[in-house]
Chain A
């Protein structure tokens, strides 16, 4: 595990939920998936709470889609569990009315109209054609609903996928890269819909590469890299989780923090960014080591900076190799 992972796991968001928990909590518990000798998801644990939008982040090939597929019963786990309200997806009494999911932007027959695509799903689970029409309106696809999906732009395909997810008006949404290809208006509409869904108490899990968009959208983030959890928790807390320290004794400070589990990044000549320790802990450790400090303040970082720090294998970290904090159940 790289040092960049340290101190970023929000313990309150990991581990399995207790029996009888909210039917809207998504719980991934020590989930592992291998394809041959390649471990794509590695002992992954996190929780997604209702009433919040959770961004699911990671580099390409980090295991996000595989994790979502295991959550939705489309792929089998080697070990561990992924549950919705404590139940496997396939065991839900009415999965189509519980979870709305959009995993592939191209999951349509190109020679079938968007409306027929939705009618097929509606037939299968007993939704009315009126509901199909309502959902088409909701995602702004009414003008193209009777055209073949093969003629759709990527953004229109995303809207159709979103319509399929929303068909059952489900309280849980699991969306894989739903913003890809959407125009700014579409992104705004999607964001508003997902925010409104979470505000009404629903659970929203959204994977995305659009970090700026996630920054606007998500309350919580779960970040994985090479199949392993590297960070999870409230985005706002994470963005303010770093301490900016200005000191003439940079090396001495780094040395003083090396066994603390913190990561340190030497930015400018006398400036160090410390992650994984509170301001108080940094100050006390510096005091005990006799390090002169000219400034100690919280540093707000962009999600992009944080993401690159979490997922980069070569970070400018100068501190020692600390151990990750355990996840809080």
Chain B
């Protein structure tokens, strides 16, 4: 049996419901919000300093941090719903060696998460490019800067989706998995920073900004490894859980 076929089946699962459209709608809302900020937003002093330089504009279009969270929810829902709807039963009947099915699911979800990140970043870049002419500033970010933003968002989206998928595999309940992903990606990082200020450099938001070229807390390779580790730990926990537990 070709492993690519299993991945293709998992990709068909992701694309054969309305879930991608729901996430696309979220990405459009985020891009529209950014566009609104460009047109009507100001700094505290009423100026538009926040879009006055290439670095400022790249910070505004750095979607990777959002990509981790949104793709995290995507991965959590994609996997947990398999258990909620019992569709995991025909999956495990077709592929009884569960680790193969779970790893294929992680690959498919990573591809989906990368797409979420890429599309989200792309829409944000387009929104900024379209709305900057309404201001006194032009589009200042270099092509390399845009590419870095897109690549960072794709990677962060893939990592976030795998992280969410791992949580979904452990929790096996859609509501619980979404809650878990929000806890890990949104609520826990500030609490961790409160407890240990040195951890600031290692939370997903900071690491994603490093990948986008708008943060310099750690090196880019270090950020890649660290954000991959954030994904790998829950993914491994999910894999072990699925292999060990009975299928309800």
Q: Encode contact with A along B1-41: 1 for CB under 8 Å, 0 otherwise.
A: 11001101100110011110000000000000000000000
| Cα(A124)–Cα(B92), bound, Å | 10
Binds A, one of B80-88, B122-130, B220-228, B230-238: B80-88
Pairwise interchain contact B94-A110, C-beta atoms closer than 8 A: no
Closest to A109 in B: B85
Q: Does A152 contact B (CB under 8 A)?
A: no
| Cα(A75)–Cα(B86), bound, Å | 14
Pairwise interchain contact A126-B5, C-beta atoms closer than 8 A: yes
Q: Does B45 contact A (CB under 8 A)?
A: no
Q: Does B89 contact A (CB under 8 A)?
A: yes
Q: Does B96 contact A (CB under 8 A)?
A: yes
- A107 in complex: contacting residue of B8, B16, B85, CB < 8 Å: B85
Residue among A75, A103, A121 with most chain B CB within 10 A: A121
Question: Contacts A107-B89, A110-B85, A120-B12 known; A125 to B17 CB distance under 8 Å?
Answer: no
| Cα(A121)–Cα(B16), bound, Å | 13
Which residues 79-120 of A sit at the B interface, judged by CB distance below 8 A? 89-90, 92, 95-96, 99, 101, 103-104, 106-113, 116-117, 119-120
Pairwise interchain contact A96-B93, C-beta atoms closer than 8 A: yes
Q: Does A123 contact B (CB under 8 A)?
A: yes
Q: Encode contact with B along A46-79: 1 for CB under 8 Å, 0 otherwise.
A: 0000000000000000000000010011111000
Which residues 195-230 of B sit at the A interface, judged by CB distance below 8 A? none
Closest to A91 in B: B96
Question: Contacts A69-B247, A74-B246 known; A121 to B9 CB distance under 8 Å?
Answer: yes
| Cα(A110)–Cα(B16), bound, Å | 11
Q: Does B46 contact A (CB under 8 A)?
A: no
- B9 in complex: contacting residue of A89, A101, A123, CB < 8 Å: A123
**How distant is B108 from chain A, measured CB to nearest CB, in Å?**
11
Tally inter-chain residue pairs, CB-CB below 8 A: 84
| Cα(A120)–Cα(B247), bound, Å | 19
A124 proximity list for chain B (CB < 8 A): 5-6, 9, 91, 94-95
| Cα(A101)–Cα(B93), bound, Å | 8
Pairwise interchain contact B9-A90, C-beta atoms closer than 8 A: no
Pairwise interchain contact A90-B97, C-beta atoms closer than 8 A: yes
Q: Does A164 contact B (CB under 8 A)?
A: yes
| Cα(A76)–Cα(B19), bound, Å | 33
Question: Contacts A89-B96, A95-B94, A101-B93 known; A123 to B12 CB distance under 8 Å?
Answer: yes
Contact count band on B: 20 to 34
A110 proximity list for chain B (CB < 8 A): 85
- A74 in complex: contacting residue of B18, B89, B94, CB < 8 Å: B89
| Cα(A104)–Cα(B86), bound, Å | 8
| Cα(A89)–Cα(B86), bound, Å | 19
Pairwise interchain contact A75-B246, C-beta atoms closer than 8 A: yes
- B90 in complex: contacting residue of A99, A116, A164, CB < 8 Å: A164
| Cα(A90)–Cα(B13), bound, Å | 23
A126 proximity list for chain B (CB < 8 A): 1-2, 5
| Cα(A99)–Cα(B92), bound, Å | 12
B9 proximity list for chain A (CB < 8 A): 120-121, 123-124
B94 proximity list for chain A (CB < 8 A): 95-96, 121, 124-125
Pairwise interchain contact A106-B85, C-beta atoms closer than 8 A: yes
B85 proximity list for chain A (CB < 8 A): 106-110
| Cα(A119)–Cα(B92), bound, Å | 15
Pairwise interchain contact B246-A73, C-beta atoms closer than 8 A: no
Pairwise interchain contact A73-B1, C-beta atoms closer than 8 A: no
**How distant is A125 from chain B, measured CB to nearest CB, in Å?**
5
Question: Contacts A74-B89, A109-B85 known; A120 to B16 CB distance under 8 Å?
Answer: yes
B6 proximity list for chain A (CB < 8 A): 123-124
Q: Encode contact with A along B50-92: 1 for CB under 8 Å, 0 otherwise.
A: 0000000000000000000000000000000100011101111
| Cα(A69)–Cα(B6), bound, Å | 22
B92 proximity list for chain A (CB < 8 A): 73-74
| Cα(A103)–Cα(B247), bound, Å | 11
| Cα(A54)–Cα(B134), bound, Å | 75
- B17 in complex: contacting residue of A73, A96, A104, A111, CB < 8 Å: A111
Closest to B19 in A: A111
Could you name 14 residue pairs across A and B whose Cβ atoms are closer than 8 Å? A74-B89, A74-B92, A92-B96, A95-B96, A104-B86, A107-B86, A109-B81, A120-B16, A121-B90, A124-B6, A124-B9, A125-B5, A125-B94, A126-B1
Given contacts A72-B93, A109-B13, 14 further A-B contacts (CB under 8 A): A69-B246, A90-B97, A104-B86, A107-B90, A109-B16, A111-B17, A117-B87, A120-B12, A120-B13, A123-B6, A123-B8, A124-B5, A124-B91, A124-B95
